[in-house]
Amino acid sequence: MPEGDTVWRAARSLDRALTNHVITAQFRVPALAEIALTTQVLGTVSRGKHLMTRFATGQTLHTHLRMEGSWHLYRPGEPWQRPGHQARVVLTSDDRVAVGFSLGVVELIATTAESDVVGHLGPDLLGPDWDSEAAVARLSREPMAPIGVALLDQRNLAGIGNLYRNELCFLIGAHPKTEVSRVNVSRVVLRAKALLEANKERANQCTTGDLRPGKRTWVYRRAEQPCRRCGSSIASGELGDPSRSIYWCPSCQPQPTGP
């Protein structure tokens, strides 16, 4: 699943390409297939992992990338890089074609109702209204929850996906199953903010400071490879959603024991 910085970049690209332009929208999802829409784009913003493209009609196109989604920008007539059958939305202006592929959510809502779909989210790590104190408070609400579960809960922090969940746990020296009450939540929030800020301009996310291929992460997707700090073999397993594996160093992040 794309991280919050990926969605932030997508919002910025759409905003720069389409804002103040008149677009014709083609929706390739059953619920919107019969809607014909030509209108001016007022702007696109991200909220956590959600994208909001606002129209002069008073409507907002709400999209979510989920696991496989992405937005591409093309010049008119330029070949698409993904198959046409994967396109869910096509927004065409005078000089740009924005195509949303394999989007997990595509819906038109009233702009005044945006809070109905994103109001439950915690502080947005890359949002203009970032509030670190509120983030700490939300992340601390369930002290018995595993930190690896709490970090993925968008009601606590908006923008963290599986990559940053695993890398943050390594950076604070906590196994993903460690209870929230046993970690320094303020430190977690500070690190999370720093990671997304450092990566929001990069196409390739990096948590190690080494941008070379194969060197960019500490533990994420490095099962059975040596820890970059101590040489122990990186372990992997499941926690919560089985589609999102956890990774940890058994030496740097020992599993919690006891009460």
Integer distance in angstroms from the first to the last C-alpha of the chain?
Answer: 33
CA 225/CA 253 separation, integer angstroms: 15
Amino acid in the structure at residue 119: G
Catalytic positions, please? Answer: 2-3, 49
CA 135/CA 161 separation, integer angstroms: 16
Owner of token pair 């203009």: 128
E-assigned strand segments in the chain = 22-27, 37-47, 50-55, 59-64, 70-74, 87-92, 97-101, 105-110, 235-237, 246-248
CA 163/CA 79 separation, integer angstroms: 31
